[in-house]
Amino acid sequence: MSPAAPDSHEPAPPPRRRAAGALPRLALLGLLGSLALGCAREQPPPEAVRAVRTVKVVAAQGETVREFAAEIRARSEVALAFQVPGRLLRRHVEAGDAVRAGQLLAEIDPQDLALAQRAAQAALQAAEVQAAQAAADLARFEGLRAQGFLSEAELERRRSAARAAEAQRAQAQAQARAQGNQAAYSRLAAPAAGVVTAALAEPGSVLAAGMPVLRLALAGPRDAVFVVPEDAVDALRALRGRAGAAELRVWGDDAWLPTTLREIAAAADPGTRAFQVKAELGAARVELGQTATLRLKMPAAAAGLRLPLTALREHEGGSAVWLLDAATMTVRLRPVGVAGVDGEQVIVVAGVDPGAEVVTAGVHVLTEGQKVSRWGDDAPPAAPR
């Protein structure tokens, strides 16, 4: 069955006619839109070249001066303690007191020591009585032996008893003497003249034998004690014993006094990794505990390279500097080892070689590989960050 034919009376739709020039107009509109959008979007400016100040590291020649903080101490200092245990009864001196040799410094409770001394004396008396009785018995038995009333074996036994009693008497005598010394140890006296630098126990404290009670700085020579980093130890050992190798200025005085390095620690302190050094002061008039500045002339190689403090920045818990690559005019970060600070300069002992160019200003706004220019060169200024 064929489909129905369309109604012959309904008019046919007119054919579509493509408007002339429609496609060129659409292309023109798209081009105009793109140009408008491009004008609205601002092009990013080129990255500015940051100007930095730099300094060229130069190896120091000859000698350099290093200064260290020092403290005046006694050359000989002892900790005083009782030789016997007991309760601290009295302390007759305080920290800072000057004492003379033999002066009474402290006392412990002597009651127990006195009782022990009396017991030892009583034991000695008993031993002496027994020794005397044994000696009298031996004399009587020797008479009986001469008359034939006693055997030789019995007489020998009596002689042994007399020798044992004499030995017991000697033992009791020694114990009584030792206990007498113990009783005398209840009084602590100064072994020599000096100054009490510390009081380490208070009255009422129960002390064990040998527990420090006082610290005494003995009268005599004084030393200036200071510490130096590891990199300076070898240079100081070369100066040890050389008269006038160092100078000292005590706080409040403008005069520099010549000193001699007397002692350098053989091992570094486990906590600070620094070495303790002592310089003798001779007849200089200084006070214990006084602070001072010690000045040393050291070879430049031992002192390390010096850079301005502004060149340092913190990096991963340590110190670092920015090095300038003159060929590419870019910067790179270099960790360094720092030995100390001298005024406005830092002493660098590792990480930087002589001849390197180090950035000294603007170190906190640089990034790795950033383009820079030297201050004063023709370059666009860097935008603030």
What pLDDT does 340 receive?
67
What pLDDT does 144 receive?
83
CATH assignment of 86-108+186-217? 2.40.50.100
Q: What is the 3-state secondary structure (H, E, C) of the chain?
A: CCCCCCCCCCCCCCCCCCCCCHHHHHHHHHHHHHHHHHHHCCCCCCCCCEEEEEEECCCCCCEEEEEEEEEEEECCEEEEECCCCEEEEEECCCCCCEECCCCEEEEECCHHHHHHHHHHHHHHHHHHHHHHHHHHHHHHHHHHHHCCCCCHHHHHHHHHHHHHHHHHHHHHHHHHHHHHHHHHCCEEECCCCEEEEEECCCCCCEECCCCEEEEEEECCCEEEEEEECHHHHHHHHHHCCCCCCEEEEECCCCCCEEEEEEEECCCCCCCCCCEEEEEECCCCCCCCCCEEEEEEEEEHHHHCEEEEHHHCEEECCEEEEEEEECCCCEEEEEEEEEEEEECCEEEEEECCCCCCEEEEECHHHCCCCCEEEECCCCCCCCCCC
What pLDDT does 356 receive?
85
Q: Name the CATH topology of 51-61+304-374.
A: 2.40.420
d(CA 160, CA 341): 82
What pLDDT does 6 receive?
46
List of the chain residues with pLDDT < 50 = 1-8, 17-20, 378-385
Give 12-69 pLDDT, tens digit per residue. 555 554 444 555 565 555 655 555 555 555 555 556 677 888 888 876 555 677 888 9
What pLDDT does 103 receive?
94
Nearest CA among 226, 212, 231, 307 for reference residue 264: 226
What pLDDT does 1 receive?
42
Domain ranges of the chain: 51-61+304-374, 65-74+221-303, 86-108+186-217, 111-184
What pLDDT does 384 receive?
39
Model-level pTM? 0.52
What pLDDT does 42 receive?
57
CATH assignment of 65-74+221-303? 2.40.30.170
What pLDDT does 184 receive?
82
Cα three-residue angle 361-365-367, rounded to 5 degrees: 110
